[in-house]
Structure 1
Amino acid sequence: MIYRRLKNSDEKIAAIGLGTWAIGGREGPDTSRDGEYIDTIARAIEMGYHHIDTAEYYAGGHTEELIGEAISLFDRRELFLVSKVWPTHLRERDLHRALDGTLKRLRTDYVDMYLVHWPNPDVPLGETMKAMADEVRAGRTRFIGVSNFDTNLLKKAIAVSTEPIVNNQVLFNIEDRQAMYELLPFCQSEGITLTAYSPLKRNLVSEFTRQALERLAEKYYASPQQIMLAWLLGKEGVIVIPKAEKIDHLRSNIDSKNIVLTPEDMKILDELKGGGLV
């Protein structure tokens, strides 16, 4: 597995995590496939997915419940659990209550990293980051970070936080690449890991991009999806959380760690933009 070091610590996080959006439902719970999902998460952990990403919003908390059931079979100390607090819970008291619920559903007394899921301009950022820092000091999260923060807002969060912000989770893939131009260089300069969500763009890429990926996939004896992940992993400080429900997809995603693109091939993909080259 590839690992990234978290800011100002000796802790490392697996660069390929398991994304869990829509597992157990979307905005609300769907219990019809619970057994299947619990087994899938457990199989993923056995395969090497020790970094699991979730959020209180996912399936109205049910996704966390499924993860809690699945991880009960494993040594908690070997897992790196990430969850996120919803923007309506960013007031100090609400944030503490939200983490209460997350910990109860995950059946654990701490998460490894707790993120602000989306910014909320109606809540002072200082109040939110104070509550996040308090949770670090209380031992209920080991690290804190943010999600969907642009560069300016990330700078503001850093300025008001008394605990290091170690991660920013944003949309980033072969075609949604706004983060690559300003945010990623800033995160790299600050030692902040950048988590790419939707790293496979749900396989909805343009025909031009698809052809470029297929050419490189043939060269590396890989799939286009593995090339998409390898491109992100080839960037300093970037980690990915692809979602997969099928065992062969889980295996394919984690095997992308073995693909190292040449600088020339990284440049080819770096210069893709929309339907063609920059």
Structure 2
Amino acid sequence: MVFKELGNTGERIPVLGLGTWGIGGFEMPDHSKDRQTIGLLEEAIEMGYTHIDTAEYYAAGHTEELIGDAIQAFPREKLFIVSKVWPTHLSAKDLPRALKASLKRLKIEYIDLYLIHWYNPDVPLRETLTAMAEMKKLGFIRHIGVSNFNTSQLKDAISVSPEEIVCNQVLYNIEDREPETSLLPYCQEAGITLTAYSPLRRKVISEHIRRILEEASEEYNASIYQIMLAWLLAKERVVTIPKASSVEHLEENLQSLELLENFELKI
């Protein structure tokens, strides 16, 4: 596994995490593949996917439950668990309840990185981030961050947060490049980790990008999806959390790390 520093904490985390949106259901729980899902998660951890990303919203909490079952056989200190609090739970009263519910479902005593899932203009950022800081002081959270924040929102959050914001998780891939306009440069300058979600475009790739990917695929003897991941991970401060639905996909994604030493793709 390859590691990068989380924010300016001095702590290094796996650059390739495991996204879990859709595992165990989407907006609602789906129990039909629970046993297979837990088995796949266990295999992923054994392969080195110790950075696991989830949220209370995923499958109405069931995704956290599945992760909680899967991680029981592994040393807690070897895992880096990320979860996110939904916009309706950002008040000083609701956030601690949401956090403790996530901890119960995950069957752990602390979350390594706790993120505001989406900005909510109806709840002051200072209130939310103060609540998160209190939970950090109590040992329920190790680090705090945000998700889906634009540059202005991120700067506002930093200005009122009692604790260091170490991460912003956003949509970013070789087709969806909005973060490059200002967010990524700001994170790189400020020392904030940018976690790219949905890094793989498996269904819709423009003809122009496909041609570039196929040329790079031949040059590096890799799949176009490995090229997509390497393209992201070659960037300063960027880590990513692709979802994988099979052992084959898990292995393919891991192999993208082998490209990084001499990788260069200008688009």
TM-score range with shorter-chain normalisation? Answer: over 0.9
Give the TM-score of the pair, scaled to structure 1: 0.94
> How far did 1:261 drift?
7.2
Q: Which residue of 2 aligns with 1:216?
A: 216
Say yes or no: does 1:254 pair with 2:254.
yes
The residue that corresponds to 1:27 in the other structure is 27
Shift, 1:7, TM fit? 2.6
Note if 1:107 corresponds to 2:112.
Answer: no
Q: Matches of 1:88 and 1:186 in 2, distance apart?
A: 28
Paired residue type of 2:265 = M
Aligned to 1:187: 187
Quick check: 1:91 aligned with 2:88? no
Matched to 1:161, the amino acid is S
* Identical counterparts, % of pairs: 58
Count of residues in correspondence between the two structures: 267
Distance 1:9 1:123 in 2: 28
Could you state the TM-score of these two structures normalised by the residue count of structure 2? Answer: 0.98
Give SS of 2:168's match: strand
Look up the SS of the partner of 2:260 in the other structure.
coil
Question: For the Cα contact (< 8 Å) 1:115–1:146, is it kept in 2?
Answer: yes
Say which SS state the counterpart of residue 187 (structure 1) adopts: helix
Aligned-partner Cα distance in 2 for 1:93–1:102? 15
Contact 2:54 2:82 in 1 (8 A): yes
In structure 2, the partner of 1:273 is none
Root mean square deviation, CA, Å: 1.1
Matches within 5 A, 1:150-229: 150-229=150-229
Matched residue, 1:54: 54
CA distance in 1, matches of 2:176, 2:196: 10
Write the letter of the residue equivalent to 1:105. R
Displacement of 1:135 in angstroms is 1.2
Structure 1 residue 254: deviation in Å? 1.3
**One-letter code aligned to 1:157:** A
SS at match of 1:136: helix
Q: How far 1:103 moved relative to its partner? A: 0.1
- Shift in Å, 1:255: 1.3
Q: Which residue of 2 aligns with 1:116?
A: 116
- The SS at the match of 1:83 is strand
| Aligned partner letter, 1:247 | V
Partner of 2:131: 131
Counterparts of 2:20 and 2:146, CA distance in 1 = 17
For 1:184 and 1:49, the matched residues in 2 are separated by: 24
Q: Any conservation in 1 of the 2:144–2:166 contact (CA below 8 Å)?
A: yes
| Amino acid of the structure 2 residue aligned with 1:266 | L
Paired position in structure 2 for 1:266:
265
CA contact (8 A) 2:8 2:192 kept: no
- SS of equivalent residue, structure 1 residue 229: helix
Shift of 1:93: 1.1
Q: Judge conservation of contact 1:231–1:261 (CA < 8 Å) in 2.
A: no
Q: Secondary structure at the match of 1:179?
A: helix
Q: How does 1:135-150 map to 2 (within 5 A)?
A: 135-150=135-150
Instruction: Give the secondary structure class of the aligned counterpart of 2:216.
Output: helix
**For structure 1, which runs of at least 5 residues remain unmatched after alignment?**
270-278
Distance 1:229 1:16 in 2: 9
Q: Tell me how far 1:87 sits from its aligned partner.
A: 0.3
